[in-house]
Amino acid sequence: MTLPRIRSGIALSAMAVLAAAPAWAHHPMGGATPATLAQGLLSGLAHPVIGLDHLAFVVAAGVLAAPLAGRFLLPAAFVVAGLAAALWHVAGFDLPAAEIGVPLSVLVLGGIVLWGRALPAQLLAALFALAGLLHGYALAETVVGAETTPVVAYLAGFGLVQYLIALGAMAATRALAAKPAALARAAVGAAAVVVGLVQLGLGFA
Ligand SMILES: [Zn+2]
């Protein structure tokens, strides 16, 4: 197990602990249901970033997918399953145990990163799809009862931002071997930019 792996594992474990705290930080706009396309989109973009359990999962997913040939498909499995489960939730159907399943999925994935062993792509794809169902179902809670336009915008927002975060984590992981110092700088810079964009976006919502 390399030092970067240990570090990211510790960071993810810390995030998982935070994620187990009440969901106070998950919902922009004070948890109000988005009523417009812009509100739906911004809420969808923000929720997977400020909801640390969702963020920790997609970052870990990107880290685990990084060395694999099918790396661009793996986070897509998570996102597509998430969109399906979100539609399921919006349509009024139930998914038992999603509340507990989301933090559990983060702990499991953080544990796999800590463990440091490469898993076969098929196993990761199954794991990501299963976790995607849980996270997507939980993410959709925000738009249950909203109009069609903000719902579609919200789904587009969270699908897009999750895929982009996974891509970022992948790129960072692949760069890690080459230039650790540059990577640390890039990570801090990217984190600041993301937080700034989210806060700015929420100011307009
Ligand atoms: Zn959430």
User: Domain-by-domain residue ranges, the chain?
Assistant: 3-21+52-204
**Residue 69 Cα to ligand 1 middle (Å):** 30
57-97 residue pLDDT tens = 999 999 899 989 989 999 999 999 999 999 999 999 999 88
pLDDT surpassing 90 at residue 193: no
What b/e readout covers 5-16, taking b as 16+ CB neighbours within 10 angstroms? Answer: beebbeebbebb
Comparing CA positions, the residue from 62, 74, 81, 70 lying closest to residue 130 is: 81
Rounded CA-CA distance 109/116 in Å is 11
Average pLDDT of span 137-142: 94
15-73 residue pLDDT tens = 655 555 544 567 766 678 899 999 999 999 999 998 989 999 999 999 899 989 989 99
Bigger pLDDT: 65 vs 5: 65
Q: What is the pLDDT of residue 188?
A: 67
pLDDT surpassing 50 at residue 13: yes
**Cα angle for residues 51, 71, 114 (degrees, 5° grid):** 60
Contact 89, 95 (CB under 8 A): yes
**Residue 142 Cα to ligand 1 middle (Å):** 8
pLDDT surpassing 50 at residue 1: no
Contacts of 21 (CB under 8 A, 6+ apart): none
**Residue 141 Cα to ligand 1 middle (Å):** 8
Alpha helices in 51-120 (DSSP H): 52-65, 74-90, 98-115
Rounded CA-CA distance 21/30 in Å is 17
Comparing CA positions, the residue from 7, 204, 42, 24 lying closest to residue 114 is: 7
**Residue 155 Cα to ligand 1 middle (Å):** 13
Region of poorest pLDDT, from 117-121, 136-140, 179-183: 179-183
Average pLDDT of span 157-163: 97
Sign of torsion over alpha carbons 82, 25, 20, 119: positive
